[in-house]
Amino acid sequence: MGVAQSGLHKDSSSSSSSSSSSCFGDGDLLKIGLGDLPEGCVAMIVENLDPVEICRFSKLNRAFRGASWADCVWESKLPPNYRVLLEKILGGFPENLQKRHLYTCLSRINSFDDGTKVWIDKRTSGVCLSISAKGLSITGIDDRRYWSHIPTDESRFSSVAYLQQIWWFEVDGEIDFPFPVGTYSIFFKLQLGRSGKWFGRRVCNTEQVHGWDIKPVRFQLWTEDGQHSSSQCMLTERGNWTHYHAGDFVVRESNKSSTKIKFSMTQIDCTHTKGGLSLDSVVVYPSSCKSQLKRF
């Protein structure tokens, strides 16, 4: 009886293996690879990658290349309010474009409102924004005895504001922008010294730098919903562009059309002068991305 059963098991296993090999053919199982995955399955895989990795994996084979263009993949990478962002930046929503094209548009550095630049981080899809020195309110900026605008290739705005010397130092600014829900950090991009070129090499003249090691600079920000941040910092880094942290704010409402933020940088102790400072811009980054910046 046991012998008969074992024989039966052998017959069934042999018939199973023969039917399997008749379906796939000899060696066919060994030939199945990533290229044989259905495009829908590949799309589910690449949804879990960041945008840079998606573009890299699209070079693997036809299935990954097709999935890398799927709207469902790029919908998950776009900011939740991407339609509002594009309308703000471009003045209207571009119809009949695939989601990948919309992402490409937002990942470029786009200018609006007299030079303010905005883009999304290619790794996290977080919204980033930069306001040039010319877009800020600077005390004494129209008096050449104190300030001047210097052309430079070290700024994405092609020029920076340079302070020779002043008693009352104050820089103010305001943002009104439809940030997606999240936590954001504001930084002043500054340099102690004046950059230039000498026989094609970068140099930074720090002879006029003075007064910043006597009293700290105060950074502040306010939002329309009552958030406030204040901090003080001594400016000590000479010859290099540095991002000085002004504070953080939180956007909590997903249906909010726009968020208004005011910010400032001051050193108004008139017992001494200060000078030799280059001001490039104010930048807003998602707080999760601020580790990318050289900062204090």
**CA-wise closest residue to 93 among 103, 82, 101:** 82
Angle at CA of residue 138, ends 170 and 258, nearest 5°: 100
**CA-wise closest residue to 33 among 79, 70, 2, 64:** 64
Q: Which residues of 19-43 are buried (b: 16+ CB within 10 A; e: fewer)?
A: eeeeeeeeeeeeeeeeeebeeeebb
pTM of the model: 0.81
Structure tokens at 214: 């006597």
Tell me the three state secondary structure of residue 156: coil
**What is the mean pLDDT of the segment spanning 289-295?**
69
- Which range is least confidently modeled, 106-115, 172-181, 276-285? 106-115
Measured CA to CA, the distance from residue 179 to residue 101 in angstroms comes to 21
Beta partners for 138?
171
Close Cβ partners of 57 (under 8 Å, ≥ 6 residues apart):
46, 49, 64, 68
pLDDT digits over 256-291, tens only?
Answer: 788 999 999 999 998 999 999 999 999 999 998 877
The reported pLDDT for the residue numbered 21 is 44
The reported pLDDT for the residue numbered 36 is 59
Number of helices (H), then strands (E), belonging to the chain: the values are: 8, 15
pLDDT digits over 71-93, tens only?
Answer: 888 888 899 999 999 999 888 88
Q: What are phi and psi of 218, to 5 degrees?
A: -105, 130
The reported pLDDT for the residue numbered 33 is 57
